[in-house]
Structure 1
Amino acid sequence: MNSRLQITAGRKLAPLGAKDAASSSIRSAEAAGSPSGATGPARKLRQITARALLEWTYRDQCADRLADAGLIGPERDAAGLEPRGSSADGVAALMRRDVLGVRIDGGPVGVSPRLHPDAEAVHDFVIAALPGLSPWMIRHARAGSCPDWGQAMRPRMEPDWKGEPRHDGFGRPVRGSYRMIYDANRNPIACAVQPADHVIYRDALRQDYRRWYDGVAAVFAAFRHGGLEAHRLSGIGADPMPWE
């Protein structure tokens, strides 16, 4: 027998030191706690606001478009059918070209039409719980915007027009198209004025903003304690009354 093999075979294994034993215990515990037996840190959830989650769902994931891909109206309404993709030709392709305005030739890299589970959960909630607000909220989420609440409005006055004002070719109001104030001799002395931005119109804008905010807050309330695989809500992400 080879001398090196004899020495190796006759050598006694040294007992584990404290450091080696601790490392072995940690590896065993990690393997036992992992569903697949793999070691490594747990996946960290992404902190995100409810408004940013909506924007990610509809601007990045296009959940409202992928959720109905490949299905026509009767199929979409039928029970038990769930969209999983769409064919490269037929009605689905024509509808896709109508939405995009172009025909995509394709390429060597395939893209799965499967939605991210979090985007699917958010879209299902918006459609089911906010039916009257869903188209409006989806439009703002895709644009990354919020409803106009009159932030550009400033107290100002404008002429009290006689009906609709007339304008010249440069967009300037034509003289004599607004109401005048006369003296006792019927000489014009002033132009009648009125508030340019009416309070009723401003209040209507703010009510629309509040409806949008309440929808975003509803998404936050629905997922603040869980229900998402890769995200954790950190807040609503919008001011309830930005005009104050």
Structure 2
Amino acid sequence: MAVPAPTGDDVRQRRAIDLEELVVWTIRTQKADRDRVSLHAVELAAAVAIRRDHRPTGSFDSPGGWGVDSCIRVAEIGLAGTRVDGGGQIRGVSPRLHPDAEAVMAAIDQAFGSLKGWRRLILDQAREGGRPCWDLRRQRFVPVRNTAPQGGGRRHVVVSEWETVPPLSAVARRMIARGVGILDSRGRRKFQQAEPGFTYRTLDDGSRQVVVRWSAVELSPSDAEIREAREDYAAWHAGMMRVLGAVMDLPLRDYRVTGFAAPATPWVSEKDI
């Protein structure tokens, strides 16, 4: 929809707004991305042609004209130069789409063209009302969750292996060398053959081994998760910069875009530069 170029007074009266807030308002509040979702492909083509000031060839009911009733309505609305109240709200589409939202949505479509994935990222974040989360908190070690179908009833992965320990005779010699008695007042050894709760085995060479168990740990969030989150944010930021280039010179009626304040790499502090 063509909007007259604003005068100096109009510029002063328009609300200054950051691009991020403007895009969120356009998509989340105005739902401009859902405009025309109920149109058939033929109807959509008719609407696009009318918005470009094209006119149908022939009369509305002739072979060269619009051959569908709803297309006739679209054409008539376009030729009339106004919106016609044709009923209630359709599929969540606002019955009174703000002209600034319509202009911003058209700029977004123009900015990305065939880059559907990039466009989808911008729209998805706008619907959520924010930007991609790049800060996944400080990394810390956490137990590895047990995802095996039959994990023995354990919630986390438990790792075990045999570890060689000194023979009891060697333990006794070390105690004696330090002046520590190996017998109690009743003549019994102070250390047991095998400590309760531990599994021991004796090899052919006389050495002993004990089963040592521990919970496997991993970093959370992982390096891959952090890298993916930052890549998503970087892609969003680059896409918003494309939108900024398409929106900055738009003659909006009620808003004036001041720029795009979101940092490009918020995970890099000034002291790291």
TM-score interval for Structure 1 and Structure 2 normalised by the shorter chain: 0.5 to 0.7
**1:174 matches 2:141:** no
More relative contact order, 1 or 2 (CA 8 Å, 6+ apart): 2
Where in structure 2 are the equivalents of 1:92-131 lying within 5 Å? 93=90, 96=91, 113-130=95-112, 131=116
CA contact under 8 A between 1:70 and 1:87: conserved in structure 2?
no
Where in structure 2 are the equivalents of 1:184-195 lying within 5 Å? 184=164, 185-195=209-219
Change (3 A) 1:77 1:243: same
- Distance, in Å, in 2 between the alignment partners of 1:181 and 1:86 is 77
**1:73 matches 2:41:** yes
- Distance, in Å, in 2 between the alignment partners of 1:53 and 1:212 is 15
Q: Which residue of 1 aligns with 2:33?
A: 64
Q: Which residue of 2 aligns with 1:35?
A: none
CA shift digits 1:96-154 (9 cap, x unpaired): 2xx59xxxxxxxxxxx83432221121012123223222222222122121121x2332
Tell me the amino acid that sits aligned with residue 88 of structure 1: G
Where in structure 2 are the equivalents of 1:224-235 lying within 5 Å? 224-235=248-259
Q: Which residue of 1 aligns with 2:176?
A: none
**1:54 matches 2:38:** no
The worse-fitting range, judged by mean Cα deviation, of 230-239 and 173-182 is: 173-182
The worse-fitting range, judged by mean Cα deviation, of 209-218 and 175-184 is: 175-184
Question: How many Å apart are 1:75 and its aligned residue?
Answer: 1.9
CA shift digits 1:209-235 (9 cap, x unpaired): 111111222222223344423322112
Q: Which residue of 1 aligns with 2:131?
A: 146
Change (3 A) 1:54 1:187: same
**TM-score, normalised relative to structure 1:** 0.61
**1:45 matches 2:45:** no
Change (3 A) 1:51 1:176: closer
Q: CA RMSD in A?
A: 3.4
Change (3 A) 1:165 1:243: farther
**Percent identity over paired residues:** 29
Match of 1:228, SS state, is coil
Unaligned 5+ runs, structure 2: 1-7, 52-73, 75-82, 165-208, 269-273
2:117 corresponds, among 121, 126, 132, to 132
Larger Rg: 2
CA contact under 8 A between 2:111 and 2:243: conserved in structure 1?
no
CA contact under 8 A between 1:69 and 1:85: conserved in structure 2?
no
Tell me the amino acid that sits aligned with residue 152 of structure 1: L
CA shift digits 1:179-213 (9 cap, x unpaired): 23541224115333222322122101110011111
Question: How many Å apart are 1:70 and its aligned residue?
Answer: 4.8
**TM-score, normalised relative to structure 2:** 0.55
Where in structure 2 are the equivalents of 1:11-30 lying within 5 Å? none
Change (3 A) 1:54 1:192: same
- Distance, in Å, in 1 between the alignment partners of 2:43 and 2:240 is 30
Q: Which residue of 2 aligns with 1:155?
A: 139
Change (3 A) 1:77 1:179: farther
Match of 1:115, SS state, is coil
